[in-house]
Amino acid sequence: MFFLRELEREITLHPSFFGPRTKEYLTTRLHEDVEGSCNGQYYIITVLDAVSISEGRVVPGSGVAEYTIHYRAVVWRPFKGETVDAVVSSVNRMGVFADVGPLPVFVSSHLIPSEIKWDPNATPPQYTDNGEQTIEKGTHLRIKLIGTRSDVGSMFAIGSVKEDFLGSVVS
């Protein structure tokens, strides 16, 4: 689910960047540093604007200045039970790996409907019901998130396509 959050970041700036365009440089650096990053709880999709930039504080002994920037950002936090669209990145007999934007999701073969079977002899290897449904690399899937796991700078999820209206999405 997407949220609008007010966040804070400290950025250090070398003295060679001091001057009339310091605030502009700090805003550019903020965008480069945080957009697309993950803090383990959510992904920062985009920075909307810098709400306030503090006065620089010179760090003793080094000469660099430290600025605190308060900014607003659109963030995405995946929740257990959320239904998302994904693109399959790899398929093997254990299950399917898919990407929901920056979030990697694993769908176990036990969480794929029983009528869709693993076919290792197909090219490329795929899950298929020998009819209209095939799950192979590049297939668009609708997945329900069963659970998420967070690490320091990344997140992972487990998903299912074993319910109604989930599975392969036909464009």
- Res 171: pLDDT: 65
**Over the stretch 49-85, which tens digit does the pLDDT of each residue have?**
999 999 999 999 888 999 999 999 999 999 999 999 9
CB 103 within 8 A of CB 155: yes
pLDDT in tens, 97-151: 999 999 999 999 999 999 999 998 888 899 998 888 899 999 999 999 999 999 8
User: Do strands 83-92 and 134-135 pair parallel, antiparallel, or not at all (unpaired)?
Assistant: unpaired
Amino acid (1-letter code) at residue 13: L
Q: What is the pTM of this model?
A: 0.85
**DSSP 8-state code for residue 59:** P
Nearest Cα residue to 56 out of 44, 64, 48, 46: 64
Among residues 78, 95, 92, 85, which one has the least CA distance to residue 139?
A: 85
Q: What would the mean pLDDT of 27-40 be, rounded to a whole number?
A: 94
